[in-house]
Structure 1
Amino acid sequence: MLPTPSTSHVDYERIYEPAEDSFLLLDTISSESEKAFLQERFKLQVSGDVRRHSSSPLVVEVGTGSGVVLSFVHAHAELIFGRSDILTAGVDVNRHACKATEVTVSVAEKEQQEQVKSHGFYIGNILGDLSTPIRPGSVDVLIFNPPYVPTPDLPALPGAEDGEQTSYEVDSHLLALSYAGGADGMETTDRLLDDLPNILSKDRGCAYILLCAQNKPEEVKNRVKGLDMNFSVETVGTSGKKAGWEKLQIIRIWR
């Protein structure tokens, strides 16, 4: 197993703490089957006697939280993708999460110092709502661990009014944004899914998205296929069954 980056510096009163869902993403992306998929997708191109890489893949995690997932992919780029020229970036609505991710990536890089340099090139984190800061058609690999818990209401995005609240209220609001998913736990995920045809690169774009049983994964997969006739989708990681249901699963969407 590849080592998990340290997040001991993260303030978990404001930022989602890595849990079973985070670790399922790490295990799935670093599994032999997904490494084979990614290495084939982004392999060297051969023209005559010349071997060269395709353009450097851009990996973006939406909702980085502590940064454990993005920094893991960044730190182990060579082992996961078969190449180290991976560009990594993150997006989060929580400014504390953006700052924490920057530190987590730096820590993960330092943990690799005694080894041959194999990590990617971290561009940075952007404060923003889902895919709004992302240039259309630019993302080769998108990773999303969404707020998937069904809740009566969807928390509003952070705004100027937060300055009028107590620190406890603000921190509670930021944490709610990381787990509260509204109806069926899918309101935020649905917004991102709708934009996938626009976000992902045309020829090689793919996405890893986490779902729970209450999100009705089979319905989600059917919906994805209707977004773009070129999309394929399948479950590539699960946390096991509970009461006959897959408790958590990772779906891979690709062209």
Structure 2
Amino acid sequence: MLPTPSTSHVDFDRVYEPAEDSYLLLDTLSSADETAFLHDRFDAASKQPSSSPLVVEVGVGSGVVLAFVAANAEIIFGRHDVLTLGTDINSFACQAASKTIHNAVKSAQTSIFLDVVNSDLASSLRPHTIDLLIFNPPYVPTRLPDFSRHDSYNDLPAGQTSTTFEQDSYLLELAYAGGIDGMEVTNRMLEQIPQILSFDRGVAYLLLCAQNKPEKVKQCVRDWGTGWKAETIGTSGKKAGWERLQIVKMWQQKN
């Protein structure tokens, strides 16, 4: 079993704490089936390997998932020249994740950590540049946060050295509140995926719960056009209700 990156430095009062969904992503991305798929997808065995893959996690949170991928690039991709980049709407998560990933990469001496960008989903990235996208969205079916407060809550209050309870509550809502069916944020991400994945080898991993209607999501992806595929490749097991989790992989089949 590969080690889990340390998040002991993260303040979980305002940043999402790694939980079952995070660990399901770690287990799935490092599974034998997925590493074989990614080795082939990114030409790991080629005498003239393709350009360095860009791996982006949207909603990076504590950074535990992206740090895991960065630290274990040789195992997951079969190559060490992997570029990693994170985004998060929560500026405190950006700071925490940056430290998590930097520490993991420094310890493993593998892959290249670029940065963590404070932005909404993948809106700050150029089209068709992401080779592998990871997204653990806010998937709980509950009302979205009040985004009118975002500018004032996304930084320390003027003259203060700590956040307020109300601010912390808002920041955590960003990580779990998914709106109707838990899909309002995810649907926005799904609209971006065909435009941000690289043409020849782009692949996305999306975490969903049962109430997110994953079968409907997979059909939506297949309807994007010729060659688009979507499969469930990891689950948290047979559980009652919406808490059952699964990882859906989306990619366009190579010719």
Provide the residue aligned with 1:3 in structure 2. 3
Provide the residue aligned with 2:190 in structure 1. 193
Select 1:218's aligned residue among 215, 220, 233: 215
Provide the residue aligned with 1:39 in structure 2. 39
Provide the residue aligned with 2:25 in structure 1. 25
Q: Secondary structure at the match of 1:188?
A: helix
The 2-side partners of 1:2 and 1:62 are apart by 23
Select 1:82's aligned residue among 69, 72, 78: 78
Provide the residue aligned with 1:128 in structure 2. 119
The 2-side partners of 1:175 and 1:244 are apart by 23
The 2-side partners of 1:105 and 1:29 are apart by 17
CA contact (8 A) 2:44 2:77 kept: no
Q: Secondary structure at the match of 1:56?
A: coil
Give the stretch that moved more between structures: 203-212 or 153-162: 153-162
Mapping 1:44-123, distance limit 5 Å: 44=44, 46=46, 51-112=47-108, 117=109, 119-123=110-114
Letter in 2 for 1:20: E
Q: How many residues align?
A: 246
Q: Secondary structure at the match of 1:126?
A: strand
Letter in 2 for 1:223: C
Q: Does 1:140 align with 2:141?
A: no
Select 1:229's aligned residue among 222, 226, 230: 226
Provide the residue aligned with 2:164 in structure 1. 167
The 1-side partners of 2:61 and 2:151 are apart by 21
The 2-side partners of 1:82 and 1:226 are apart by 31
Deviations 1:8-59, CA, capped at 9 Å, x for gaps = 000000100000000000000000000000000011475xxxx211011000
**What TM-score does the superposition give when structure 2 sets the normalisation length?**
0.91
Which sections of structure 2, spanning at least 5 residues, go unmatched? none
RMSD, aligned CA:
1.9
Provide the residue aligned with 1:184 in structure 2. 181
Deviation above 2 Å: which 4+ runs of structure 1? 109-112, 152-155, 157-164, 227-230, 243-246
Deviations 1:102-151, CA, capped at 9 Å, x for gaps = 11012213433xxxx4x210000101000101110000000000000000
CA contact (8 A) 1:93 1:158 kept: no
The 2-side partners of 1:157 and 1:174 are apart by 13
Provide the residue aligned with 1:252 in structure 2. 249
Change in Cα spacing, 1:152 to 1:98, as seen in structure 2 (3 Å) is: closer
The 2-side partners of 1:167 and 1:245 are apart by 31
Cα drift, residue 156 of structure 1: 1.7
Letter in 2 for 1:147: P
The 1-side partners of 2:54 and 2:148 are apart by 26
Q: Secondary structure at the match of 1:227?
A: coil
CA contact (8 A) 1:139 1:199 kept: yes
Change in Cα spacing, 1:230 to 1:157, as seen in structure 2 (3 Å) is: farther
Change in Cα spacing, 1:79 to 1:45, as seen in structure 2 (3 Å) is: closer
Q: Secondary structure at the match of 2:98?
A: helix
Which sections of structure 1, spanning at least 5 residues, go unmatched? none
The 1-side partners of 2:190 and 2:133 are apart by 11
CA contact (8 A) 1:44 1:52 kept: no
CA contact (8 A) 2:209 2:242 kept: no
Q: Does 1:241 align with 2:225?
A: no
The 1-side partners of 2:44 and 2:71 are apart by 20
Cα drift, residue 246 of structure 1: 7.8
**What TM-score does the superposition give when structure 1 sets the normalisation length?**
0.91
